[in-house]
């Protein structure tokens, strides 16, 4: 078995003073948690502990989404950094809770001398709430050709403006009855802000936002859209929440 030993005498030595190296980078998306995770092996070369710590960044769309200190030693260690893609990020923004497809995410490693090295990965990010948060309450068989399609949503990853749309074949309906936890209802076809029951003082929704008048400061317990006319027999229908971050 062979090993390496790096003779480093400072700025004129191998690797340079204070530099770090990394290798074996991998990156992926975890659908259930909404996390983008990057893993990498890292090693410090003559890093001075009193200096600023090296840092790792996850960058999307040119904005830093997560920053994390790297505690590098002279031995290779496996480290990771994760970003909650559907929640408020380091830049104070959230992503639309939709299937975003393949996007480019950058892992940036920066040493204490502010020397940066970027690695870009294509990552499939699917934040559509339907699979993980939506529960259909309507029976899938009945004699009504315009059935009420009813569902619930568990808490989303962030506050979102949504325009629920029910589609059957080439016909769609957007008039949705929202039932709140206090049993009151409102019917809207132009969308609503899903606040997940967040209280007024804790919300990220700005009062000068165009969506401010579409927010109800109570939790939505149920959603209902009356279906367009269905034909006899089996009918496929889709529910699209059309979520947009507020």
To the nearest whole percent, how much of the chain has pLDDT over 70?
80
Indicate the fold that domain 19-126 takes in CATH: Immunoglobulin-like (2.60.40)
The DSSP element (H or E) to which 172 belongs, if any, is: strand 171-173
More confident residue, 68 or 14: 68
More confident residue, 164 or 92: 164
Q: What is the pLDDT at residue 110?
A: 86
**Mean pLDDT of the residues in the chain:** 83
35 with 82: CB under 8 angstroms? Answer: yes
Q: What is the pLDDT at residue 14?
A: 31
Q: What is the pLDDT of residues 111-140, one digit of tens each?
A: 777 788 899 999 999 999 998 899 999 988
Question: Helices marked H in 128-201 — which ranges?
Answer: 130-133
Q: What is the pLDDT at residue 199?
A: 53
Band (47; pLDDT cuts 50, 70, 90): low
Compute the distance between CA of residue 43 and CA of residue 36 in angstroms, rounded to an integer: 23
Question: How far from each other are the two terminal CA atoms of the chain, in whole angstroms?
Answer: 56
Rounded to an integer, the average pLDDT of 15-39 is 81
- DSSP 3-state assignment of 16? coil
Q: Given the structure tokens 């950094």, which residue do they identify?
A: 81
- DSSP 3-state assignment of 94? coil
Rounded to an integer, the average pLDDT of 13-35 is 75
Q: Which residues contact 125 (CB under 8 A, 6 or more apart)?
A: 29, 36, 85, 95, 99, 100, 101, 103
Band (43; pLDDT cuts 50, 70, 90): confident
The first and second tokens of residue 38, run together, are: 């990057």
The DSSP element (H or E) to which 75 belongs, if any, is: none
What is the CB-side half-sphere exposure of residue 154 using CA atoms within 13 A? Answer: 10
To the nearest whole percent, how much of the chain has pLDDT over 90?
48
Tally of CB atoms within 10 A around 14: 11
């Amino acid at each position: 078995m062979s090993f390496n030993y790096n003779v480093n005498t400072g700025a004129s030595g191998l690797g340079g003073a204070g530099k770090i190296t990394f290798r074996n980078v991998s990156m992926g998306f975890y659908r259930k948690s909404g996390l983008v995770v990057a893993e990498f092996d890292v090693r410090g070369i003559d890093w001075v502990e009193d200096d600023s710590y090296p840092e790792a960044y996850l960058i999307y769309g040119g904005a830093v989404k997560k920053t994390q200190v790297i505690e590098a030693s002279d031995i290779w260690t496996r480290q990771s950094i994760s970003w909650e893609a559907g929640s408020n990020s380091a830049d104070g923004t959230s992503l639309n809770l939709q299937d975003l497809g393949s996007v480019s995410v950058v892992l940036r490693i920066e040493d204490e001398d502010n020397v940066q090295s970027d690695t870009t990965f294509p990552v499939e990010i699917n934040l559509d709430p339907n699979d993980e948060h939506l529960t259909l309450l309507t029976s899938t068989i009945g004699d009504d050709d315009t059935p009420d399609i009813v569902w619930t949503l568990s808490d989303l990853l962030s506050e979102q403006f949504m325009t629920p749309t029910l589609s059957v074949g080439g016909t769609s309906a957007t008039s949705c009855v929202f039932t709140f936890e206090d049993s009151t209802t409102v019917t809207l076809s132009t969308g609503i802000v899903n606040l997940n029951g967040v209280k007024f003082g804790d919300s990220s929704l700005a009062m000068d936002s165009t969506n401010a008048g579409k927010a109800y400061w109570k939790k939505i317990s149920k959603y209902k859209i009356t279906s367009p006319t269905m034909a006899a027999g089996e009918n496929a229908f889709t529910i699209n929440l059309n979520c947009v971050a507020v």
